[in-house]
Amino acid sequence: MATNQQQVLISPAELAYLHASLSLSPEPIRPDGRSSTQFRPLVAETDILPGTNGSARICFADGSEAIVGVKVEVEKTKPKAGAMINPEEGKEEKGDTGVEGGGGFDDDKKNYSNDWVELAVDIPGHRDDDPGTAFLGNMILEALLEDGELVKRLRINSRFHWKMYLDVLLISQPLSYPLPLLSLTTHLALLSTRLPCLISEGDEDPMFDDDWAASTNLYPPRGEKSKLSTSRPPITLLVMSVGHSILFDPTYEELAVADAVLAVSVSEEPTKPVPQDTIATPKQAKDRALRLLSIRSIDPPSRITPPGVPNGLNPATNGEVAGLQPKHAEARTAEVPATEGVWKAPRGGVSRSVLSAMVFKALEKGGVADEVLDGLQGVEMASEILE
């Protein structure tokens, strides 16, 4: 966990307690009393910067704060031959053609390129070429580009496209691993992104309506008629496991005892475009099907925590089990069998069943991802109503 390279400042005794209470089954006891799947409250707002095409700000309960700004520029599309084609993207196109039903888009389907989206992450106190920062940026970008839905929306005509710049700023110091914060903020910023209204037609040089009020949403709100599928930008959640407990939205203290941490990127399965005549009810949002875009395992800081010393080996407690002490002068660093109530940094891997349980729990209907997507959509809808 490169951006959280600072030492964990929690004593082995506390770590041992945390580990024990978090691995309780069936329901772990978290320090802040949340249930294992509960998200902490967060404050979110969109459209905060009039100078951008879309922007969002999210404050997590621990005080960490991020701002994302989206800017788009018109760029000439490189001719087909030079374009980078993602093989999966090609496959998906085939699946989608039937859905889109000859909207005049089929001619240069394969002309999309992942280069159309550029993402920069800025973490205070870290250089932008720091491996941790680069890794964060790539994880967010990877999820965004995975389903190819975003780049499809950036196409203007066969000769031009929008070049999108996403600037992801972490405003606070990185308290815990900022990936979910940055990902949710990016999600919101993309939802609030508006593109100027195209008034030219076909493949001619693009002309846009100067009136900002006429601009269109990059991701049209539900219920609005649109040629594009109703996909939404993805979100990335942090899931951790301790023993057999699976916890969402882990805090800094909880991460310090994690056995495994996964970054799970999830997006909605795009539904069929709304037929022209029916008006979708908001209920439709509830019927979303989630799909998994990517999983990354993240090295938790628990692995570099200092181990606890059992009372029996601790000179400070006069070594209750006196017999052990003289033999193990180097016992602090040596491999000793795990003792109940004594903290020992996790070693080795995590069982496959736990891993799959983590992913399933994230994707569950009505689960955390669903809840978060609902919440974020609420932010977006609220902003539209107020406008």
Partner 1 sequence: MEKGTVELQVWHQKFLRYLACEGSPPAPGRISSRDPLHDKSSSHSPSSGASQSWFAIGIALIFSSFLKSPDKLNSETQIPLPAVNMPREAEISTNEKQFLKTALTENVRIDGRLFEQYRPLSLGFGEEFGVAEVELGKTRILAKVSAEVTVPYADRPFDGIFQIVTELSPMVSPAFEVNRPTETEVLLSRLLEKTVRRSGALDTESLCLMAGKKCWAVRVDVHVLSHDGNLVDAACVAVVAALRHFRKPDTSVEGEMVTVYTAAEREPTPLSWLHSPYCVTWSFYGEEGEMALLDASWKEEQVQVASFTVSLNRHGEVCQIAKLGGVAVDAVLLLKCTAGATVEVKRISEMVDQKLEEDAKRRDKGGLMAELRAENERES
Partner 2 sequence: MLAPAKPINCPLASCLAWSACPTKKFTNCSDSELSLFRLPPSAPVTTPSTDTINRFDLYLRATSVLDSVFSHSPARNVAMPLDTSTYSMALLRVDGRRWNELRRLHAQIRTQSASDGSSYLEMGHTKVLCVVTGPTEKLASQRMASSSSSSLLDVNISIAGFSSVDRKRPSRTDKRVSEMAFTVQQSLNKAVHAAIFPNSTISISLTVLSQDGSLLASLFNAATLALVDAGIPMSDYVTACTSGSTSSYAAADDAADPLLDLNRQEEQELPFLTVATLGGSDRVCALVCESRVQVSRLEGMLAVGVDGCKQVRTLLDRVIRERGAKMIEEGAIARGDVVGAGDEMDTEED
Binding site for partner 2 (CB under 8 A): 39, 41-53, 55, 57, 59, 62-65, 67, 69-71, 73, 120, 122, 124-125, 127-129, 165, 167, 169, 171-173, 175, 194, 212, 375, 378-379, 382-383, 385-387
Peptide bond into 26 cis (omega under 30): yes
Amino acid at 322: A
- Distance CA(1)–CA(3), nearest Å, equals 6
Q: Using an 8 Å Cβ cutoff, are 132 and 124 in contact?
A: no
The least distance separating partner 1 from the CB of residue 135, rounded to whole angstroms, comes to: 12
x-marked contacts with partner 1 along 296-335 as a string, rule CB under 8 A = --------x-x-----------------------------
Pick from 3, 17, 2: nearest CA to 308: 17
- Interface with partner 1 includes 289 (CB under 8 A)? no
The least distance separating partner 1 from the CB of residue 250, rounded to whole angstroms, comes to: 22
DSSP 210: S
Q: Using an 8 Å Cβ cutoff, are 289 and 41 in contact?
A: no
- Interface with partner 1 includes 11 (CB under 8 A)? no
- Interface with partner 1 includes 74 (CB under 8 A)? no
Picked from partner 1, partner 2, none, the partner binding residue 2 (CB below 5 to 8 A depending on kind) is partner 1
**Bridge pairing between strands 65-76 and 117-122:** unpaired
Picked from partner 2, partner 1, none, the partner binding residue 304 (CB below 5 to 8 A depending on kind) is partner 1
The nearer residue to partner 1, 7 or 281, going by C-beta atoms, is 7
Picked from partner 2, partner 1, none, the partner binding residue 7 (CB below 5 to 8 A depending on kind) is partner 1
* Range 198-226 burial, b when 16+ CB lie within 10 A, else e: eeeeeeeebeeeeeeeebebbbbbbbeee
Binding site residues, partner 1, CB under 8 A: 2, 5, 7, 304, 306
